[in-house]
Amino acid sequence: MESLLFAAVPRNRIWCVTRIGIDIGGTFTDLFVLSKDGKSWSTKVLTTPRDLSVGFIDILERALQTDPDFRAVAEIVHATTVATNAILENDTARLGMITTRGFRDVLEIGRHFRRDLYNFFLEKPPMLVPRQLRLEVAERVAADGSVVTPLNTGEVEVAIDSLLARQVEVILVCFLHSYARPDHEQQVAEIVRRRCNLPVLMSHAVCPEYREYERFSTTTVHGAILPKVRGYLENIQAQLTKQNIRAPLSVMQSSGGIATASQVAERPGAIIESGPAAGVISAVEVGRRLGFSNFITFDMGGTTTKASLVRDGTVTLKNDYEVGGGIQGGFGTGYPLRTPVVDVVEIGTGGGSLCYVDAAGHLHVGPRSAGADPGPACYDRGGTEPTITDAHAVLGRMRPEYFAGGQFSLKVAAARNAIERAVARPLGLGPTKAAEGILALANEQMVRALELVSIQRGYDPRTLTLVAFGGAGPLHAAELAGELGCPRVVIPPEAGVQSAWGLLVSDCRRDYSHAFLSRVDALDLAVAKRLFESMVRRGSAELLEAGFARSSLRNHLTVDARYVGQAYEVVVQLREPPAFTKAMVARITRSFHQHHQRLYGHSDLASPVEWVTLRASVTARVPRPAPRKLAAAKESLAKRRYATQVMVWNGKRLPSPVYHRSALAAGDRFAGPALIIQEETTVAVPPGFKVTVERTGDIVIYAK
């Protein structure tokens, strides 16, 4: 992967150069450019699902043709669905595993957890490592790191011979309690490297945490997508070289920080949720410039809707995640992945979600999607099934000639015909009423997702702002805020390509963890200090080598704690710099009780507490561009009206003004119904809502 490494951008000059963010979603691929002279440019094209790298290069070439100066790009930051797609489509590598005798079936046994207890048709996801490719060898390490059974290297040689004969592509080494004593896994890896050139992953290096099933599964997921992600990144880098673009390629991680392509190629599981993470990070920047810190993010694209909660200006992360269980599959439906992930709820409701009536006469919206090919019926690209986008077209909530900045015109008649055939006739409705029903059901599904990240976590949405973005998000945002009771909606200037913009305002980040299972009354603080310092030292060294100044580095230290006997943990933050004294331990314990009370409604001050995992994140802050300053209006709003269009709201046909966002000025105010169009999205303002345009260019929508 050395081909992926080029000279790093001098980080003290990061806004003196041109940087490009490219986000590949299920339906659209978005690009955002911040040029060296402070200007920006963005565009959106249909994703190329058969080969995502084709869409990456196509949209990049479009940018370069628009402005030749962009060819001097100094860095490209990327978010992609390639890792997620590989798991969901079962397009994974042929894996072989060497494990402790008696533990080959850990992956199949799992946690004996059934998501749906009474579903007789419930199917577990397919094993990423078939049983015949999980081979056992004699070795055993106890939880305290003592050797129970020495490693039998002869059996290791036999196991490697067997795996090579079966043509595996990646070898996994997963031993019991290897986080406490990794030398057995290291010995096996050395033998593998002497014998062949196959990638070898050691579980203690991928996930040095307690719990065998989760550690084995995390290692397996990394190995399963490693060749796919590595090949994808190498292909992109080869195409960039062919274009004579020598910019380094960085990739967004699920934790909300960026890393080099070479680092991601070694730990591909870290980019499973790269696009959604970029969107949430971008929303934090919106909150900072407008002065609010508690809000819900609402990101609706062509395939899915993502929602997240931001508290006190901080992104919420979780360390227990499952991939491969389908959209919003829940625990027990996918493969556990122990890695920091921005806490996002995702549902299969997007602009391209297919709408149909089942045999019982019930309307369904999603989760199946028309995707980029053929897309909604109104795209006139071969799609015949109605979608949410078709419903908007029928109700007049988009400008047909200005969809995606005018790249192609929507065929409203095709949308109407599709809805009439598949939804209206089976329900005995007219196409307009059916279209309203489609959007009402879609909104209800998205309200549930927004409630999951607010009400079900103890936060009243009536006290939270809704930050909406994505190609379809601004079409639904005001109605959703009205349902939830959110006092205002913010539509950022970059809303249609928000995640691509978010890639360029995300910090570089390195995340580490280490098992540390100990009761609070028996803590060895010297060991805890040594482990924390080791993780921080490692992250700092990598970021300093990348060209960041030491003054830009920040450490974030946490402890996963629980009551003795519990099977789940609460994350507690350490003050920086930590003192590693008994007073610090007492403070963490008090904080744990408080967090437990807030999360679960109870705490027990008399119960003993134990630490389970130590975590350290080292970030290097990337300078942000100065917020734009929108000028005040020089002429009346009426003179800046783009058009008048009839929109349907609650069964009524209402003539409504249409404004181009570029024509809006700071201080503009108007009431709905109205439509605001821009190159990458459309903002629909229902009756009963009013709009204010901020000096930053953000559109704020209030309920009357």
**What pLDDT is stored for residue 330 in this prediction?**
55
Task: Give this prediction's pTM.
Answer: 0.90
Q: Are residues 605 and 677 in the same domain?
A: no
Of 184, 218, 180, 228, the residue nearest 83 (C-alpha): 228
Q: What angle do CA 386, 391, 396 make, to 5 degrees?
A: 140
CATH number of the domain within which 513 lies: 3.30.1490
Residues 262 and 360 in one domain: no
160 SS3 class: helix
Last residue of a domain, one of 271, 287, 305: 271
Q: Is residue 108 assigned to a domain?
A: no
Q: Is there a domain that residue 158 lies in?
A: no
Instruction: Output the six-digit token pair for 156.
Output: 């290791």
Do 616 and 653 fall into the same domain? no
Please answer whether residues 110 and 147 qualify as being in contact, where contact means their C-beta atoms are separated by less than 8 angstroms: no
Residues 436 and 537 both lie in one domain: no
CB 443 within 8 A of CB 476: yes
By the 8 A CB rule, do 571 and 558 touch? yes
Judge whether 210 lies within some domain. no
Same-domain status, 610 and 643: no
- How many alpha carbons fall within 13 Å on the CB side of residue 362? 4
d(CA 449, CA 307): 7
Instruction: State the total domains in the chain.
Output: 4
Whether 365 and 436 map to the same domain: the answer is: yes
Q: Can you give the pLDDT at residue 546?
A: 83
Is there a single domain that holds both residue 17 and residue 69? yes
Confidence at residue 93, expressed as pLDDT on a 0 to 100 scale: 95
pLDDT, one tens digit per residue, over 498-524 is: 999 999 999 999 999 999 999 999 999
CATH at residue 61: 3.30.420.40
Residue 400 is assigned to a structural domain of this protein: yes
Q: Are residues 359 and 409 in the same domain?
A: yes
pLDDT value at residue 332: 61
Q: Are 703 and 481 in contact (CB under 8 A)?
A: yes
669 with 604, same domain?
A: no
Which of 212, 247, 271 terminates a domain? The answer is 271
Q: Are residues 558 and 595 in the same domain?
A: yes
504, 489 in Cβ contact below 8 A? Answer: no
**Using omega within 30 degrees of 0 as the cis cutoff, is the peptide bond preceding 623 cis?**
no
Same domain, 64 and 38: yes
Q: Do 643 and 603 fall within a single domain?
A: no
Residues of the chain where predicted confidence (pLDDT) is lower than 50: 1-16, 327-329
335-to-56, 172, 186, 338, 343 alpha-carbon distances in Å: 28, 16, 25, 10, 17
Q: Which domain covers residue 670, as residue numbers?
A: 638-703
Based on its alpha-carbon atoms, the radius of gyration of the chain, rounded to whole angstroms, reads 26
In a domain, 538, yes or no: yes
Final residue of a domain: which of 424, 442, 460?
Answer: 442
Pairing of strands 28-34, 19-24: antiparallel
Q: What is the pLDDT of residue 422?
A: 96
Tell me whether residue 496 is in a domain.
no
599 lies in some domain: yes
pLDDT for 71: 82
Query: Comparing C-alpha atoms, which of 461, 419, 437, 300 is closest to residue 363?
Result: 437
Residue 645 domain-assigned (yes or no)? yes
Tokens of 256: 């909300």
**Helix, strand or coil for residue 249?**
strand
pLDDT at 475: 98
The pLDDT value given to residue 589: 96
Q: Report pLDDT digits (tens) over 258-272.
A: 999 999 999 999 999
Q: How far apart are CA 96 and CA 224, in angstroms?
A: 10
